[in-house]
Amino acid sequence: MKRVTIGEFEELCLLMVGVLYEDAYGVSVKDEIKNRTGRDVTISSIHSTLVRLEKKGLLKSYMGGANEIRGGRAKRIFEMTATGKQAINEARDLRNQLYTDIPKLVWEK
């Protein structure tokens, strides 16, 4: 299988889905990103990213949680797949490795 690569924003969304655990859907991810990073992203970009991640096999989803405010419509709740977890682990390892490999001199300058 082809190795799946993920972009910066995709990684952010993936992490948020992890953070939100059982309550990860479009609006909550949008709010979480706004709260944690200050980035105001349109709901449609979030949705398209989540759907893309699902197609890449990093996320899976099920329907649930309709209420009055949503006009009686269900949410699509996302959760991470094993591949997804692996992908953020790899990204993290790579980042840590690179961080530790930065020569000490860089910090002292």
Partner 1 sequence: MGEMNKQQPPKWINKILDWYCKEEYVGEIYGDLMELYDRWLEEGKFKANAKYVLNAILFMRLYNSRFNSGQNSNKIDMFKNYFKIGYRNLLRNKVYSAINISGLTVGMAITMFIGLWIKAELSYNTSHDNYDRIAQVIQHKTYNGDIRTNEAVPFPIGDELETKYGDYFKHVVMTGWTYDHILSHQNLRIIKKGNYMDVQAPDLLSLEMIKGTRAGLIDPHSILISESTAQSLFGDSDAMGQVMEVDNELTVKVTGIYKDLPSNSSFSDLHFIVPWDLYVSSYAWVTSAKERQAWDENSYQLFVQISDLATMADVSERIKNVKYDRLEENQKYSKPEMFLHPMSDWHLRSNWENGVKTGGLIQYVWLFGIIGIFVLTLACVNFMNLSTARSEKRAKEVGIRKSFGTLKRQLVQQFLCESLLVVFLAFLLAICLVAFITPYVGTMIGYEMDLPLNDLYFWLISIVFISITGFLAGSYPALYLSSLKPIKALKGTFKVGKTAVVFRRALVVFQFSVSVLLIIGTIVVLEQIQYTKDRPLGYNKDGVITIELSTSDFEGKYNLLRNELISSGGIVDMTESSSPMTQVENTNGGFSWQGKDPGFKPSFSIIYVTHDYGNTVNWELAKGRDFSRDISTDSTAYILNEAAVKYMGMENPVGQNMKWGRNDHKIIGVVKNMLMESPSKPVRPTIYIIDYIHNTNYITLKLNPDQSVRTSLGQVESVLNDIAPKVPFNPIFVDQEYSKKFEAEERVASLAGIFSILAIFISCLGLFGLASFVAEQRRKEIGIRKVLGATLLNLWKMLTSEFVVLVILSCLIASPIAYYALSSWLDNYEYHISISWWFFVVATISALAITLFTVSFHSIRAAKMNPAKSLRTE
Task: Name the site residues for partner 1 (rule: CB under 8 A).
Answer: 25-27, 42-45, 47-48, 51-52, 63, 66, 68-71, 73-76
Comparing CA positions, the residue from 60, 20, 58, 54 lying closest to residue 36 is 20
Q: How far, in Å, CA of 107 to CA of 48, rounded? A: 39
Shortest distance, position 1 Cβ to partner 1, whole Å? 19
CB 25 within 8 A of CB 75: yes
Shortest distance, position 17 Cβ to partner 1, whole Å? 15
CB 23 within 8 A of CB 84: no
Nearer to partner 1, 75 or 84 (CB): 75
Shortest distance, position 22 Cβ to partner 1, whole Å? 16
Shortest distance, position 102 Cβ to partner 1, whole Å? 38
Nearer to partner 1, 68 or 108 (CB): 68
Dihedral angle computed from the Cα positions of residues 68, 74, 75 and 77, in that order, rounded to the nearest 10 degrees: 140
Nearer to partner 1, 26 or 57 (CB): 26
